[in-house]
């Protein structure tokens, strides 16, 4: 589903590469953590999958296509297949929960009829049934993250990319968010999650890809966060 092949990413200016000859193969339906200290290259790896960045060398494949060679007009279609979730939720503050989730479908031209069907279904999947008319500031952090996950998932993408999704949440709320991401993963969506959250990684055992200074130093099935941190 996703393949990094000797991917190196240099940002402009001095310094070591943000990613240094990274090779990782992720199958459809996997759930993979990217762990490592701040600055180790986790976000860079995720952004390459969206083609928000291009590799300096090497190749990134998504669903069999080398996305660096993909024509620019095809990039929106790629991004529709990749839902995103962030630490800071990134909801539209002046829209209701339903409108936040519906917006993702409106921009890709789905019919009102389809939107009216799919949005309530998706709110139910994320545990927010009946909360569609709330505003984001009327929700807890965990509920706001559920809205963000609903928005990422409403289009039933092949892949969900989550960058520190539990970073602003207390441990108990984080467990609820992880249960939801596991549920979505079990529906067939490949999940890539960058995280510093030792407790979560150790409790929800998944494949762990550990980065240090842009290099993969560990790639372990059902790994723990690791001793060294
Ligand atoms: P992480 O997500 O693990 O914190 P990042 O991928 O954000 O790591 O960063 C990896 C390295 O690349 C760091 O040294 C960071 O400072 C650098 N970096 C990230 N984004 C940029 C950018 N837009 N311009 C220059 N350097 C960047
Ligand atoms: P995260 O917490 O997700 O790892 P970062 O703090 O690494 O995010 O980066 C936040 C934003 O700042 C990103 O858009 C990243 O590309 C940019 N950025 C990170 N490090 C640098 C840097 N050294 N120079 C310029 N931009 C950077």
- Residue 229 scores a pLDDT above 70: no
Confidence of residue 228 (pLDDT cuts 50, 70, 90): low
Q: Rounded to an integer, what distance in angstroms lies between the CA atom of residue 151 and that of residue 90?
A: 10
Q: Please tell me the predicted confidence (pLDDT) of residue 2.
A: 98
Cα of 200 from ligand 2 centre, angstroms? 23
The residue nearest atom 7 of ligand 1, judged by CA position, is 43
Cβ atoms of 56 and 135 within 8 Å: the answer is: no
Q: Please tell me the predicted confidence (pLDDT) of residue 15.
A: 86
The interface pTM score, or ipTM, of the predicted complex is 0.74
Mean pLDDT of the chain: 96
**Once rounded to an integer, what is the mean pLDDT over residues 177-187?**
97
Q: Which of 43, 49, 54 to mutate to test the pocket of ligand 2 (most atoms within 8 A of CB)?
A: 43
Confidence of residue 227 (pLDDT cuts 50, 70, 90): low
85 lines ligand 2 (CB under 6 A): no
In the CATH scheme, what is the code of domain 1-81+157-223?
3.40.50.300
18 lines ligand 1 (CB under 6 A): yes
44 lines ligand 2 (CB under 6 A): no
Residues of the chain with CATH 3.40.50.300: 1-81+157-223
Tell which atom from ligand 1 comes closest to the C-alpha of 211: 3
The residue nearest atom 25 of ligand 2, judged by CA position, is 11
Q: Does pTM surpass 0.80?
A: yes
Q: List pLDDT tens digits, range 141-156.
A: 999 999 999 999 999 9
Tell which atom from ligand 2 comes closest to the C-alpha of 164: 3
Q: List pLDDT tens digits, range 59-110.
A: 999 999 999 999 999 999 999 999 999 999 999 999 999 999 999 999 999 9
Of the candidates 206, 217, 204, 198, which has an alpha carbon nearest to the alpha carbon of residue 177? 204
**Once rounded to an integer, what is the mean pLDDT over residues 124-129?**
97
Q: Please tell me the predicted confidence (pLDDT) of residue 101.
A: 98
Q: Please tell me the predicted confidence (pLDDT) of residue 12.
A: 93
**Contacting residues for 137 by C-beta, under 8 A, at least 6 apart:** 93
């Amino acid at each position: 589903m996703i393949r990094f092949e000797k991917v190196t990413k240099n940002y402009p200016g001095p310094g070591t590469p943000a990613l240094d000859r990274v090779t990782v193969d992720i199958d459809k339906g996997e759930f993979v953590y990217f762990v490592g200290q701040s600055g180790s290259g986790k976000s860079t790896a995720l952004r390459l999958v969206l083609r928000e960045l291009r590799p300096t060398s090497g190749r990134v494949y998504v669903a069999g296509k080398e996305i660096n060679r993909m024509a620019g007009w095809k990039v929106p279609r790629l991004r529709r297949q990749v839902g995103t979730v962030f630490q800071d939720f990134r909801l539209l503050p002046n829209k209701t929960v339903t409108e936040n989730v519906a917006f993702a479908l409106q921009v890709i031209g789905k019919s009102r009829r389809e939107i009216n069907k799919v949005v309530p279904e998706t709110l139910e999947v994320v545990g927010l049934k009946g909360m569609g008319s709330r505003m984001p500031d009327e929700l807890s952090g965990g509920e706001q993250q559920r809205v963000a996950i609903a928005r990422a998932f409403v289009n039933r993408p092949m892949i969900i990319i989550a960058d520190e999704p539990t970073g602003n949440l207390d441990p108990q709320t984080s467990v609820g968010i992880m249960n939801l991401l596991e549920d979505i993963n079990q529906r067939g969506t490949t999940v890539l999650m960058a995280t510093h959250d030792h407790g979560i990684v150790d409790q929800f055992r998944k494949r762990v890809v550990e980065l240090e200074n842009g290099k993969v130093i560990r790639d372990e099935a059902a790994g723990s966060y690791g001793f060294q941190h």
